[in-house]
Amino acid sequence: MIGRTLSHFRIDSKLGEGGMGVVYRAWDTRLRRPVALKVLPPDLVANEERRLRFLREARAAAAVTHPNIATVYEVGEADGTVFIAMELVEGKTLRAFMAARPLPLRDTLAFATEISEALTRAHSARVIHRDLKPDNIMIGADGHVKILDFGLAKLAEDPDLLGRPGLSRLDTISGELTREGRVLGTAAYMSPEQARGEPVDSRSDLFAFGITLYEMTTGVVPFRGRTVTDVLSAIVRDQPVSAASLNPETPADLERLIDKCLEKDPRERYQHAEEIAVDLRRLRRGSGPAARVSDGAGAMQAAESRKTPAVGHGRGGWVAVFPGRRAALAGLVAVAIAAGAAAWWTLRPASRFRPGDRILVIDFENATGRPEFETAIRDSFENRIDHSNFLTVIKGKRREQILGKVTAGGTVRADPAVLGSVCVQEGCEGYLTGRISPAAPGVRLEANMRRFGGGGAVITRSGVADSDDRILLTIHEISLELRRALGESSVALANMSPPTTRSLQAHQTFSLARNLENAEERVTLLRQALEQDPGFYAAAATLSGELNGLGRFKEARWSAKEAYRLSNGLPENQRLMAEIGVLDASYDYDAEVSRLRIQRQRVGISNNYLCYLYNQIYQDAARMEEECRETWRFWDWDLYCVVQALMLQGKKEAVKATLEEYRETGRSADYVGLATLISGNDWVEKRKFVESLDRLSDDVRIGGTSAWIAVLLAAGRLGEAHELTEVITHGPEAVRILTHWDGFVGLAPSWLRARFGGVPVAPTSGEVTPARESMAFLPQLASFSAEVGLAEPLGSVIREHEEAEKRSTSRFVKEELQFAHGCLLLAGGRSMEAIPLLEPLARASSLIRRHRALGRAYESLRLWKEAAAEYERFLADRNSKWWFAENSAIWVLDQFRLAQIHERLGDPVRASHWYERFLDDWRDADPDIPELIQAKARLAALGGSAGKEQVDAPGGKS
């Protein structure tokens, strides 16, 4: 197999072999990445029924995604060979890592926690491993666990296989033979029910987990014997030797956890992996000196080297907890009385944090004498805590406004009493601060988080970075502990990836960029961060997104590919994000949707870009609604998406209910206004929002401008739309407005100029730039060119993309270049040649632009029936005018064209129907539009009675 290519995987070398097949190191020639390619033995998938069952079950297992489970990229077959392409995990198996000896307690608890969290995710998806053992657990180069071969052992337990001559159940599961005096393979990790040949459920995995944890703790397996039969008998009958007797350093709580996993009766074991994960996390918190929580009101507990006594809240009131220093009580009381009411904020008990609480991160006390730490440490903690979905970090101008009321400027070391008072006034529930101090050979970092109010705990976590290169990682670890103490879910914590730079300077520049409002300034700082650390993945990935937002798509694609290169070796979640970026840059939208759905399962994110793809690329409103049905409650932009999806499906009552529910949350009214632009007919409300655009954030303002143009076009207010587009086309933000969101107004200015000027007008270079830089905008340019009869600049843009994408395997690239060629022929008056290109695209798709272009070709050739069928296919649904990928005014005018076609076909009833719909849609339109005048005249001539009749139009998704 070495040197062969299987599908799009080039096999480079052999990694290993077992009962479930041979594993090779391979190269994915499509996505340009290394993979582990497992080739299944032919006898496991010998007949068609078994092969199909395997593929179905393997694909179900592939849907299980978690940072501690090796990702299955693809399950398929080629040349009669069934294969699985998986994430290539560089590192050691847990067995090799243990080397037949106990692991340090810290490693045991860390690895065990990650394994239990991975099992939690898999079992929630009803996938059981059935063959969990140290050989199937990898310790990656980053020190984190990856479990291999999830769900694949199920095929090996297929009863059809067990009747095969010479094949025992044990051989099937382990793929290994046994020799006298030695136990190999899976036998030592079976559950009692598995050993007895009984049906198993997820609790069987928990028994195997207990065996693995016992082995990590003691260096040996709990059930041993000279033969496999002896081992199986011990599993079913014997109690294992106490782990503590083999390793005296085993904590009692850990031994109890192991014993509960190893209960013979599944009903007496842990019932769910999440229960184990919770107990392990509790053990980890109690096993290290840095994990401590203060019970009292002395919120800012000092590091141990500080001389000021810590204060606790005991049953007898306020007491000093420094041994032998009870006299400090009098001093504390005196200070409290002298400070007056404001000091109550310092001394009152802190309450527990709640989801949604807003906090400030303020400057840390710097005892190192190194001024570069003054704000860098604060910014780094702010960045890490800001990843939390539990708390909201107040940043940027709002942060400075609040702190400006506390301090006159410079380094912020606010009096907690004053800060507490101001925070409550400003709707801030707490703050995070701390101290940096020397600790040979590096620095000690301590973070203290407190919430104002009564009845809870102040959270203190600390750690030591033995070098500057370890500071950011130490901040990451402390932040994880803080968030764990808050009660965040294991899934959320598992998806908090470590920082991707070791340079504190680069990270601080990156943090500053994130807090700036001006996009150009953000790009400048992100480039500076990359200069400070050329390997800084997060800066490259963020830069790509910023450049996209500015309409600089070529630069953005280069940056996305650079980010993907830099992601090699990073945790899988970051690698997945980088892969999504490079798939988008390569226009491989089918694969991108698949990866985005995986990402959504892993971490609670805005589904905004999934909605964009379903809108702009696929025009699938139902999927848009599905993706953003819940997330709009957490992400403001998704409100706009879900309202658009509901409007496209005609669900106007659902739109009203959604907007009302959003208002009740008390969040930004700006997004309600933005959503209102595309819903309802209240022009007064629409006007109010548009008039407020100047005071809004850049994104809302630019999005609002684009949406308002679309509203004007859809309503037939072409004069006002023309004036507005002429202003923005020559403004400083022209590219951002014309390409914002889905580019739906990108060529409206040229179309309006042609209408008002009476002759075709070529789009300006600025209007063509989006299509020239990104194929995502090529369909709009192609549609416009066919509409107004201009072959240039479309021809030159097509040639540029053909040259740039000649090696592309993307379906989108192939289809959209074909569509553009068809439109180019149509624009040049060669409709007969355009039809063979456009027909197969329209037949295979419901995209409006394809049916419209084909309808135009039929219409120009006087093929009236064929043209009518194409127009009615997308006009049947009145809501389809809100597909913003098209100029909505053209959609409304298509009704007028269709009415004329039906007149030519001698069908006055259908003609009247479409004239009436056209006039109804443009009832608020400019009165001097020629088509309006003509439609009124023709409807009067036809009698105007068909509007109340039922006119069946051919169905079809628009």
| 3-state DSSP assignment of residue 307 | coil
**Does residue 453 come out as left (phi exceeding 0), alpha (psi in the -120 to 50 range) or beta?**
left
How many C-beta atoms surround the C-beta of residue 60 within 10 A?
15
What secondary structure letter does DSSP report for 679?
A: S
User: Which of these, 320, 289, 285, lies nearest to 304 by C-alpha position?
Assistant: 289
Tokens standing for residue 577? 């994000």
- Cα–Cα distance measured from residue 882 to residue 625, given in angstroms and rounded to the nearest whole number: 14
Q: Are 926 and 717 in contact (CB under 8 A)?
A: yes
Which residues, in sequence order, are bridge partners of residue 21? 18
Residue in this structure with the two tokens 């009962």, named with its chain if needed: 19
Tell me whether the omega of the peptide bond preceding residue 266 falls within 30 degrees of 0, making it cis: no
What three-state secondary structure class fits 73? strand
For tokens 């290539």, what's the residue?
88
Tokens of 839: 């027909």
Rg of the chain over all Cα atoms, to the nearest angstrom = 33
CA dihedral over 306, 312, 316, 318, signed as positive or negative = positive
CB-side neighbour CA atoms (13 Å) of 349? 14
CB 430 within 8 A of CB 345: no
Catalytic residue among 28, 131, 149, 584: 131
CB 823 within 8 A of CB 793: no
Distances (CA, A) of 115 to 4, 90, 119, 132, 274: 35, 18, 6, 10, 11
CB 320 within 8 A of CB 328: yes
Q: Does residue 176 contact residue 185 with C-beta atoms inside 8 Å?
A: yes
Q: Residue 117 contacts by C-beta under 8 Å, 6 or more apart in sequence?
A: 66, 68, 273, 277, 490, 491, 494
What tokens were used for 865? 């029936």
Kindly provide the residue ranges of all beta strands, DSSP E only, lying in 225-357, ordered along the sequence: 291-294, 311-314, 317-320
Region of 256 on the Ramachandran plot (φ > 0 left; ψ -120 to 50 alpha; else beta): alpha
Q: Is 214 helix (H, G, I), strand (E, B) or coil?
A: helix
Contact predicate 701/741, CB 8 Å: no
Please check whether residue 303 is in contact with residue 365, taking contact to mean a CB–CB distance below 8 angstroms: no
131 is catalytic: yes
Phi/psi region, residue 884 (left: phi>0; alpha: psi -120 to 50; beta: rest), is alpha
Strands (E), 70-199: 72-78, 81-87, 91-93, 137-140, 145-147
Three-state DSSP class for 220?
coil
**DSSP code for 30:** T
Q: Closest Cα to residue 618, out of 448, 414, 812?
A: 812
Return the amino acid letter for 637: W
The amino acid that residue 305 corresponds to is S
Residues near 869 by Cβ (< 8 Å), separated by ≥ 6? 954
Rounded CA-CA distance 120/125 in Å is: 9
φ/ψ region of 587 (left if φ > 0, alpha if ψ in -120 to 50, else beta) reads: left
Task: Dihedral sign for Cα 82, 71, 199, 219, please.
Answer: positive
Q: How far apart are the first and last CA of the chain?
A: 48
Pairing of strands 430-439, 358-361: parallel
Catalytic site positions: 131
